[in-house]
Structure 1
Amino acid sequence: MNLILLAPGDIEHGQQACIRDPRRLRHLKEVHRARIGDSMTLGVAGGGIGRGELLALDEEEARFALSTLNTPPPPPLPVHLVLALPRPRMLARSLEHVTALGVKTITLLHSRRVEKSYWQSPELAPDKINGHLVLGLEQARDTVMPKVNLAKGFRPFVEDVLPGLLETRRGLLAHPGMPQACPRGIDEPVVLVVGPEGGFIPFEVERLLEAGCEGIHLGPRILRVETAVTALLARLF
Structure 2
Amino acid sequence: MNLILLAPEEITHDRLARVRDPRRLAHLREVHRARPGDRLTLGVEGGGIGRGELLSLDEHEARFALEEMGQPPPPALPVHLVLALPRPRMLARSLEHVTALGVKRITLLHTRRVEKSYWMSPELAPQKIRTHLVLGLEQARDTRLPEVELAKGFRPFVEDRLPDLLKGRRGLLAHPGMPRACPRGIEDPTLLLVGPEGGFIPWEVERLLEAGCEGIHLGPRILRVETAVTALLSRLF
In the TM superposition, what are the counterparts of 1:135-214 in structure 2 within 5 Å?
Answer: 135-214=135-214
In the TM superposition, what are the counterparts of 1:40-189 in structure 2 within 5 Å?
Answer: 40-189=40-189
Distance 1:155 1:26 in 2: 45
Work out whether 1:31 is the aligned partner of 2:67: no
Deviations 1:171-193 (A, max 9, x none): 00000000000000001100000
Distance 2:167 2:21 in 1: 43
Distance 1:213 1:13 in 2: 50
- How well do the aligned residues superpose, as a CA RMSD in angstroms? 0.4
Deviation at 1:223, TM superposition (A): 0.2
Deviation at 1:122, TM superposition (A): 0.1
Distance 1:221 1:109 in 2: 23
Return the letter of the residue paired with 1:131.
Answer: T
Deviation at 1:164, TM superposition (A): 0.5
Deviations 1:18-64 (A, max 9, x none): 00010000000000000110000000000000000000001110000
Deviation at 1:67, TM superposition (A): 0.4
Distance 2:73 2:154 in 1: 34
Distance 1:30 1:59 in 2: 11
Deviation at 1:14, TM superposition (A): 4.2
SS across alignment from 2:143: coil
Deviation at 1:9, TM superposition (A): 1.0
SS across alignment from 2:192: strand
What does residue 230 of structure 2 align with?
230
What does residue 7 of structure 1 align with?
7
Distance 1:176 1:74 in 2: 32
Distance 2:92 2:209 in 1: 28
Distance 1:150 1:223 in 2: 23
Distance 1:88 1:153 in 2: 18
Deviations 1:174-227 (A, max 9, x none): 000000000000011000000001100000000000011000000000000000
SS across alignment from 2:117: helix
Return the letter of the residue paired with 2:63.
Answer: R
Deviations 1:85-140 (A, max 9, x none): 00000000000000000000000000000000000000000000000000000000
Instruction: Note the residue ranges of structure 1 that are not aligned, 5 or more in a row.
Output: none
Q: What is the TM-score with the length of structure 1 in the denominator?
A: 1.00
Return the letter of the residue paired with 1:18.
Answer: R
SS across alignment from 2:107: strand
Identity %: 81
Residue-pair matches, total: 237
What does residue 19 of structure 2 align with?
19
Q: What is the TM-score with the length of structure 2 in the denominator?
A: 1.00
